[in-house]
Amino acid sequence: MKISQFTITTSLLFFTFCTFAQVQETKTANLMGSVFQITLVDSDSISAQENIQKTISEIERIENLISEWRPETQISQVNQNAGIKPVQVDKEVFELTKKAIWFSEISNGAFDISIVAMDKIWKFDGTMAKLPSKKAIRNSIVNVNYKNIVLDSINSTIFLSKKGMKIGFGSIGKGYAADKARKLLQESGIKAGIINAAGDIATWGTQINGNPWRIGVNNPLETGETIEILEFSDNNAVTTSGNYEKYVEINNKRYSHIINPKTGYPSTELISVTIIGPNAEMCNGFSTSIMVLGLKKGIKLINKFPDYQYIILTNKEDIIKK
What is the CATH classification number for the domain harbouring 314? 3.10.520.10
320: three-class secondary structure by DSSP: strand
Task: Check: CB of residue 264 under 8 Å from CB of residue 138.
Answer: yes
Q: Model's pTM, two decimal places? A: 0.91
**Residue 159 falls inside a structural domain:** no
Q: Report if residue 75 sits inside a domain.
A: no
Residue 288, marked binder = yes
Note the pLDDT tens digit of each residue in 55-85.
999 999 999 999 999 999 999 999 999 999 9
Close Cβ partners of 154 (under 8 Å, ≥ 6 residues apart)? none
**Is the confidence at residue 317, as pLDDT, over 90?**
no
Q: Do the beta carbons of residue 162 and residue 184 sit within 8 Å?
A: no
At 123 the pLDDT is 87
Least confident of 22-31, 94-103, 122-131: 122-131
Instruction: Please provide the DSSP assignment of 203-231 as one string.
Output: EES--TTSPPEEEEEE-TTSTT-EEEEEE
Three-state DSSP class for residue 129? coil
Residues of the chain above pLDDT 90, percent = 79
Sorted by sequence, the CB contacts under 8 Å of residue 257 that are 6+ apart come out as: 122, 124, 243, 245, 246, 247, 266
Residue 78 lies in a domain: no
Q: Is the pLDDT of residue 312 over 80?
A: yes
- 171 among annotated binding-site residues: yes
User: What pLDDT was estimated at residue 154?
Assistant: 98
Residue 307 lies in a domain: yes
The per-residue b/e assignment along 250-267, b for 16 or more CB within 10 angstroms, e otherwise, is eeeeebbebbbbeebbbb
Expressed as residue numbers, the domain containing 222 is 212-321
Q: For residue 250, is it within any domain?
A: yes
In the Cβ-directed half-sphere of 317, how many Cα atoms lie within 13 Å?
Answer: 4
Mean pLDDT across the stretch 10-16? 36
> For residue range 139-169, what is the model confidence (pLDDT) as tens digits?
999 999 999 999 999 999 999 999 999 999 9
CA atoms of 258 and 256, how far apart (whole Å) = 5
How many CB atoms within 10 Å of residue 282? Answer: 22
Number of domain units in the chain: 1
Q: How confident is the model at residue 5 (pLDDT cuts 50, 70, 90)?
A: low
Q: Average pLDDT, whole number, for the chain?
A: 91
What integer pLDDT is reported at residue 305 of this predicted model?
98
